[in-house]
Structure 1
Amino acid sequence: MPDSVAVVTGASQGIGRATAIRLARDFTSVVLVARNRSHLEDTAAQVRAAGAGTRVIDLDLSAPAAARTVVDEALAAFGRIDTLVNIAGAVPQIDLFEMTDEQWDAGMALKLHGARRLTIEAWPALVEAKGSVVLMSGNSAIFPKAPYAAVGTINAAIAALAKAFSDRGITDGVQVNSVMPGAVLTGRRRSYLEHWAPAHGMTVEDAISRFPQEAEIERFGQAEEIAELIGFLVSPAARWMTGSTLRMDGGEVKSV
């Protein structure tokens, strides 16, 4: 895409980082947003190596004013926004009966409200560009369980929010979809398993092998695989796809 700009949140690690690097193949510039400056700089180096310009914005999207800052800086640097990919927002896996109000609210503030605010703030630029938006949901939206009730609830809300934005987008010329990954072996998930595995009498590698067996899937997914799906979604080839939630989970969800 000539003179095109993508904004990717959560770009410091995991799926966000992989997506930013993937979009550098198709966009002339990629704006990287996350809280960790040093990790963002690592992503920026790979984006530049792929041939795209970049700008790093390190802030916390749970703050109400952060969305306006991102849009202002992106437009000041590159003059347009063609694609927005909302990935920021790790929600802790804490049992429904143990999670505090503060932990619940923090997850909502970053993943749900952060994406909502940023999409609204970027909307005029996206309308002008006839652009696209992707919001990151997850399989837990389909089968929420007590051990990860908050992430399931928030992911379900994200999918509904994307659908609402897509309805407005039909009138305004903005494509909006959501992505629902299954179990992806990101650095964050590996870190979680490093704490979980010893408490259950197994090694991390044992835990990595055990989960796919219990979920009846071949293996964990890779961040780059989700990034390729997002790359397709925001490409001209997928332009007629809007208001959809695309699941990529290795067959974990058995229902139709």
Structure 2
Amino acid sequence: MNTAYLPSCCSPLNDHWPLPHALPAVQLISTRFSPELLDAEDFSRCAVEPVRGVAKRQTEYLAGRLCAREALMRLTGISATPACGEDRAPQWPLGMVGSITHGSGWAGAVVGNSTDWRGLGLDIEQIMPASRAERLAAEILTPSELFRLETLPNEQRAQRISLIFSLKESLFKALYPQVLQHFYFQDAELLSVDADNNVRMRLLIDLHADWPAGSELAGQFAEFDGYLLSLVSIPR
């Protein structure tokens, strides 16, 4: 088995930081993937435990795990592939925190040391068409968030709805390993977005003694090639 093998379904692993603000002692690795190029032997060649599903599901999983392994290698010097827990969350090595995301041909993983970071949550989304964004808005946004979008043109509304969706996914990934409790889109809200793509978010429910309702968290995002990439980072 070759942990350095890169399957043809994945582009070369990239350590470019696409977000606007770098974080100390954090590694982000990404790749583009093509399900039609997945080979039946790619999992064994990459020394990654296979998953069931259609080619898309298998390829995005493999791409995400390869990114996570490379990010861990860059930080620790040890080749380790996060397993998938019973709750489907990645199982990071002791002393590490991280997040994996994949969608629409792009996969990435962000990893940091638990001495520096309590949580990291990464999410990639494509910007929704306006019609889909409007259909989903009431499921994703709180009444306050909906109210703040009322005066925006359709295209800007779709971008903001897509952004809030992505940020709430990132928030869940950053907090879930700490609270081990599921929570939902209406349980947090976006407070602000500044000109440098920094955001503030607030919890609307009590999740844990460390994370009561009213807790505020920071994040950031970037747009590229029709994607929205968001990151919620919680320092130690």
For the aligned pair, the TM-score class normalised by the smaller chain equals 0.3 to 0.5
Normalised by the length of structure 1, the TM-score is: 0.32
**Which one has a larger percent helix, Structure 1 or Structure 2?**
1
**Which one has a larger percent strand, Structure 1 or Structure 2?**
2
